[in-house]
Amino acid sequence: MEIQPFTIAIPQTTLDDLRERLIRTRWPDEIDGAGWDYGTNRAYLQELLRYWHDVFDWRKQETRLNQFPQFKTTIDGLGIHFIHERGKGPDPMPIVLSHGWPDSFFRMYKLIPLLTDPEKYGGRAEDSFDVIVPSIPGYGFSERPHEKGFTAGRAADVFAHLMTDRLNYKRFGAHGGDWGSSITEQLAFGYPEAMIGIHLTDIPYHHLFTVNPDELTPDEQDYLKAGQTWQMREGAYALIQSTKPQTLAYGLNDSPAGLLSWLVEKFQRWSDSDGDVERRFTKDELLTNATIYWVTETINSSIRLYYESQQQPPDTASKKTEVPTGVALFPKDLIPPPRAFADRFFNVQRWTQMPEGGHFAALEEPERLANDIREFFRPLRNGR
């Protein structure tokens, strides 16, 4: 199937409609002194919406995104959007970077140049990569699945076909976080002969439900308890998205204020920001990500991935992959696991505990993440 160049070009009527909706926002009340305790802080959201309406320049962000070579192709009946940035070194290694939720392919925009041209940023030219960043089907500019059953495993199938059948890479590496870690793991299970290695920033959550607590080490038992506590305090979003995503989507798809509230709270809670989300992300970054969701109307199809994966959990959840694995853990990520837990499911050959950073490592700590990816894959390159 043919690959076509792709340029982001949002109709002006879509942007005008967004601005009109921003003006018409109807605000709920808020408890005095609530801060972020009850969810997204109203004063901050009002500030961010004013910026979205008065200052934010989508055309400027569109131009920045279009500096990356982007393409579309059709795989399994779905139109797939992806960035394909060639490496600048003498023998670049191909790597697919898989994003998660509530972000998008935009998650990787700082990481791409650090991997394709490491010498420019103080690294070694021989560590360069050909970087491929697809949008998960149902996210951003990839087509939305129209049938039941599109899981992280199905996304891995699509990405594997993209890498091998469309781009003609016989073997490649993979990196991911959030849903991207699940997709990357499924690449290792489904296509081990094609995988040079995989690199993760978290251990996919479904493994928490496959272990016998009585067989865990004390550190692993503490991790399991921390996961249960986190689920009670922070996990309501996942329960809604895993059970009734359609009900939620009507409000988020209709109200930019509602959409931004749902997204920005995760960036505030899950990042290493000490409660000040703009310590880690600029307004332009937060709004570029939100605008991608808005203009493509993909909030419903993105959260539907939770429902589909809940209905069809991977049959590999209790198995271990032998593909070489690197893990970089950032301290303010959701629930960083102990090494013993990761060893149950992965052939861990590099384990890095970062000094700072959170769930959105590629945006928060791109230099540290890029360096870890380079160092993990360096001894594996000759195995191509």
The residues assigned a catalytic role are 178, 306, 359
290 class by beta-carbon count within 10 Å (0-12 exposed, 13-18 middle, 19+ buried): buried
| Token pair of 337 as six digits | 């696991």
87, 129 contact by CB (below 8 A): yes
99, 108 contact by CB (below 8 A): yes
Secondary structure (3-state) at 124? coil
Angstrom distance (rounded) from CA 350 to CA 150: 31
Beta bridge partners of 132: 84, 96
Positive or negative: CA dihedral 40, 41, 46, 47: negative
Which of 202, 208, 164 is closest to 185 using CA atoms? 202
| DSSP state, residue 217 | -
208, 276 contact by CB (below 8 A): no
Angstrom distance (rounded) from CA 53 to CA 38: 25
Place of tokens 């990839």: 142
96, 159 contact by CB (below 8 A): yes
91, 196 contact by CB (below 8 A): no
Dihedral angle computed from the Cα positions of residues 24, 25, 28 and 31, in that order, rounded to the nearest 10 degrees: -120
Angstrom distance (rounded) from CA 202 to CA 282: 24
291, 58 contact by CB (below 8 A): yes
Angstrom distance (rounded) from CA 140 to CA 267: 18
Beta bridge partners of 197: 173
C-alpha to C-alpha distances, 288 to 61, 260, 352, nearest whole angstrom: 7, 11, 30
Cis peptide before 102 (omega within 30 of 0): yes
